[in-house]
Amino acid sequence: MKTGRDDNTHVALKFMDSNERRVRETVYGREYTIKAELTQPNSTRDIRVRNCFAFSKRNTSIPLIDDRGCPLDNNIITRFRTNNDGTSSTAILKSMFKFPEGSEVHLQCDVVACRAGSTCPAEATCTGDASAYTKSGRALGQTDEGVMLAATTVFVLDPADAPRE
């Protein structure tokens, strides 16, 4: 899903395999890279990814990255790190999971794209108790000013049914 801003900057959220190829089918238990990428970066010089959560078609949800951009559990996902040119940011999902009610996993994140000459929010120091996380009251699809919504869906295969890497 791509959500744009006035300057035609769009963001895409992708699951990438170990060969850095986009995948729409994942395998339960395997590691994947999650990439937030600006498709038309224009004058953007940096991005920040925050407030990520996974959810099922029945809206069962699991928060993964808090409003500061910090992982809620470092054993599940790393924090997003912006690449050198500022047009994408990646995190490692250490083990693909799924929900009991089906094989679809939806992922949604907020992405802040900062323009050249403006101040991007500083990366938070991710220390302290992750259980102190308070989820924003944001409704699905609602964003703050200057924040783009990025979402994607993958299907999770059982390892026995998956092709070899």
Structure tokens at 136: 């924003």
Question: Exposed/middle/buried for 21, CB within 10 Å: 0-12, 13-18, 19+?
Answer: exposed
Per-residue DSSP letters for 11-38?
EEEEEE-TTS-EESEEETT--EEEEEEE
- For residue 97, what are the domain limits? 11-123+143-157
| 149 lies in some domain | yes
Question: Exposed/middle/buried for 53, CB within 10 Å: 0-12, 13-18, 19+?
Answer: middle
For residue 20, CA distances in Å to 14, 55, 72, 86, 102 come to 10, 24, 25, 18, 26
Report which residue type is found at 149. Answer: L
| 164 lies in some domain | no
| Residue bearing tokens 């078609």 | 57
| 135 lies in some domain | no
| 19 lies in some domain | yes
Indicate the number of domains in the chain: 1
Q: What's the whole-number mean pLDDT along residues 4-33?
A: 86
Please give the pLDDT value at position 119.
62
DSSP 59: -
Whole-model pTM: value is 0.81
Average pLDDT across the chain, whole number: 81
| 162 lies in some domain | no
CATH number at 110 reads 2.60.40.4100
More confident residue, 86 or 77: 77
Distance from C-alpha of 100 to C-alpha of 60, rounded to nearest angstrom:
10
Distance from C-alpha of 90 to C-alpha of 34, rounded to nearest angstrom:
6
2 Cβ contact list (under 8 Å, min separation 6) = 10, 11, 12, 39, 150
| 163 lies in some domain | no
Give residue 86's pLDDT band: very low, low, confident or very high (50, 70, 90). confident
Distance from C-alpha of 18 to C-alpha of 33, rounded to nearest angstrom:
8
Task: State whether residue 161 is helix, strand or coil.
Answer: helix
| 84 lies in some domain | yes
Give residue 80's pLDDT band: very low, low, confident or very high (50, 70, 90). very high
| 133 lies in some domain | no
Is residue 20's pLDDT more than 60?
A: yes
